[in-house]
Amino acid sequence: MVRALFLFAALPLCAAERANPIRKVVTMLQNMQAKVEAEGKKEAELFEKFMCYCKTGTADLAKSIDDAGTKMPELTSEIEAAEALLTQTKQDLKKAQVDRSAAKTAMEEATAIREKEASEFSKVSTDLKTNLGAMGKAIAAMEKSAGAAFLQTTAATVLRKIVESDDKMLDVDRDDLTSFLQGQESSPGAIIGILKQMGDTMTADLDEATKTENAAVSNYDQLMAAKTKEVDALTAAIEAKTTQIGELGVSIVQMKEDLSDTGESFLEDKKFLAELDKTCATKEAEWAQICKTRQEELLALADTIKILNDDDALEMFKKTLPGAGASFMQLEVSSEQMRERALSLLEGAKSSRTSDRQRINYILLAIRGRKVNFDKVLKMIDDMVVLLKEEQQEDEHKKEYCEKQFDFADDKKKGLERTAGQLETSIADAKETIATLTEDVKALEDGIVALDKSVAEATENRKEENSDYKTLMANDAAAKDILAFAKNRLNKFYNPKLYKPPSFLQVSMRSDADPGPPPAAPGGYSKKSEESTGVIGMIDTLIKELDTEMTEAETEEKLAQEEYEELMADSTAKRTADSKSITEKTAVKGDLEASLAEHEANQKANLNELMATEQYISSLHGECDWLLQYFAVRQEARTGEIDSLKKAKAVLSGADFSFLEVKSRKFLRH
């Protein structure tokens, strides 16, 4: 009986062994060890990425600095070449404008001369034909002896004027013809002879004049064709030069901006490279220290775990740590609470422009002089007129140039503004999409982190539950063995027929504290068979309860493992899908970022070109606005000055219309 009670009292000690707190300490140390290793792996990945960034960034910055060092002298050379080309192009444009104006002036002068020659030929031809007609009529009348009737015709009047005006006619012939025209008797044969001779002379003059006129017309046509071709070619050249000047003007401003930007970038890159080198070196040193410290921590944790897991230490802990005072049935309640907590965790894991005035004043002063030489004054006037015309031509060329440049620059500005609008829209769209993708990727990554955490917690819980299950089964089996051993021992004494000799295994399961058989008792002791029957029945009940507990624990373990495997499969599928989505969205984001960088580069280039164009337009306003505003006033003023100068010259020259009439008569005689 004493032996049975001793064995029964040992059951709480077994429960206390299962609840040994040293296991929790070791588990915490192991968790710390795993966490340090995981953090080390994660930090190693970050360090590798940072060092890759250092290597790539240093190479990129070095290349950018080298490129800028090469680009700046190239840009300087290009700007100098463009400015030289711009100067040459402006000179070429001015020469083309002067040449075209000269060609047009030549055409105008040739046309005026041609018109004058044509008018003179027409008059000479008409006069000669009229005179020939009159002489023909006179000859016909004389041959028909109708001279008297002829004298009454208009032809006679014409013939009379010819006789009066012909300086080359012999006086004898003039007297004969004058007598004939006055109706005096004259020799018809002599008159006819004189008239025919005059007719032959006039016919020859008409032929010569006609030949000269035809030659003049041919020369004029050839000249006009050549000059027209020249003007067209010069006009095309002017158009091309004007466009080229505009493009060069914008290009030079843009290249200067580019040179400035490149210089700033060059300095910034050198500064950043120095800072990067320093930062990377610091990080390398810091990383070495981190790695050293982490290894020391891991070593400390490993050593501690080894110490705590040592068999001798465990044995000592069993003896020295305070035991649990709970009974075997209280342990059963604790197991139920742990089971409920495990189920709750698993369920939760399923849810997630006054020089002209001065020159004129000088001419006025010269004219007012008492010893004035008018030839000099006339020369001054002529020079002044030429100068005014040249200035007017310069204004015209400048006006043409300004208008074309404004048209060119305005068109270019509008085009650049349209492009700027399109680029702004594209950039805004790209940024919005990138932001959305960034949020999506962040959410997915956070989800994966949370999922991994849940999986890790579930796995840890599963391990703990399985460990608890195994411990329970082992403890229950051990308890059953002890109970069976106790029952058999009781039967040996109380029910020898039911006693079974202990096997080797059974003996090995005996407690080291078993004192062995009781000493011999005094004779005549009465067995307490009825009491032993109650104890043995209680032992059978406890064994039955342990069997029931083990069956329930086995069923719960099987269900928990199935739920855990389902959770792992679902988590793996979700993690795979989310990882694939992150990869796809990251790729799309990368493409969009490359496109955004291209749009931003194009926007910067477009903005620089637009600013250059606006600066060029501003420079055109400064160069052209005054001329365009006062062009008509200046032109009208020059026209008035030229007219006044010409009139002054005419007065100083003593010009008179009678002089022109005398010259005209002399021309007709010839």
Closest CA to 106 of 222, 237, 238: 222
Distance CA 395, CA 632 (A): 10
C-beta atoms surrounding 72 within 10 Å: 16
| Confidence at residue 330, expressed as pLDDT on a 0 to 100 scale | 41
pLDDT at 359: 62
State the alpha helices, DSSP H only, in 495-528: 504-508
Q: What's the domain range around 421?
A: 2-19+323-510+530-651
Q: Provide the 10 A C-beta neighbour count for residue 171.
A: 7
> For residue 114, what are the CA distances in angstroms to 127, 215, 218, 270, 664?
19, 11, 11, 75, 18
DSSP 169: S
* 268 backbone dihedrals φ, ψ, rounded to 5°: -65, -40
In a domain, 91, yes or no: no
**How far is it, in rounded angstroms, from Cα 638 to Cα 16?**
124
The reply to whether 251 falls in a domain is no
Q: How far is CA 153 from CA 140, 149, 156, 185, 382, in A?
A: 13, 7, 5, 18, 52
CA 569 to each of CA 28, 70, 576, 640: distance values in angstroms, whole numbers, following the listed order: 28, 59, 11, 102
How far, in Å, CA of 576 to CA of 570, rounded? Answer: 10
Residue 10 lies in a domain: yes
Q: Which residues contact 346 (CB under 8 A, 6 or more apart)?
A: 458, 461, 560, 563, 564, 567
Which residue from 166, 321, 128, 278 is spatially nearest to 666, judged by alpha carbons?
Answer: 166
Tally the C-alpha atoms within 13 A of residue 11's C-alpha that lie toward its C-beta.
24
Phi then psi for residue 152, to 5 deg, are -90, 0
CB distance 242 to 401 below 8 Å? yes
The conformation of residue 517, written as its DSSP 8-state character, comes to S
Q: Measured between alpha carbons, how far is 309 from 311 in angstroms, rounded to an integer?
A: 6
Domain assignment of residue 29, yes or no? no
Per-residue model confidence (pLDDT) at position 395: 86
- pLDDT computed for residue 602 by the predictor: 92
What is the rounded CA–CA span in Å between residue 574 and residue 352? 11
pTM over 0.85: no
Residue 151 lies in a domain: no
Sort 354 into a burial class: Cβ within 10 Å, 0-12 / 13-18 / 19+.
exposed
Residue 120 lies in a domain: no
44, part of any domain: no
How many whole angstroms separate alpha carbon 611 and alpha carbon 257?
A: 9
Tokens of 606: 């477009």
Asked if 562 and 346 touch (Cβ cutoff 8 Å), the reply is no
| 27-33: long-range pairs with CB below 8 Å, 24+ | 29/301, 29/304, 29/305, 29/308, 30/305, 31/460, 32/301, 33/298, 33/301, 33/302, 33/305
Altogether, the residues listed in the chain come to a count of 670
| CA pair distance 445, 289, nearest whole angstrom | 30
- CB-based burial label for 254 (10 Å; 0-12, 13-18, 19+): buried
Q: Number of structural domains, the chain?
A: 1
Taking the chain (670 residues) in runs of 10, the rounded mean pLDDT of each run is 36 44 68 80 85 85 89 90 91 91 90 89 84 76 67 75 74 72 70 78 87 91 91 91 86 86 88 86 87 79 70 61 41 43 42 52 60 68 84 87 89 90 92 92 90 88 87 84 77 75 48 40 40 67 87 91 90 89 88 89 88 89 88 85 76 51 40
Rg of the Cα trace of the chain? 64
Flag whether 582 is in a domain. Answer: yes
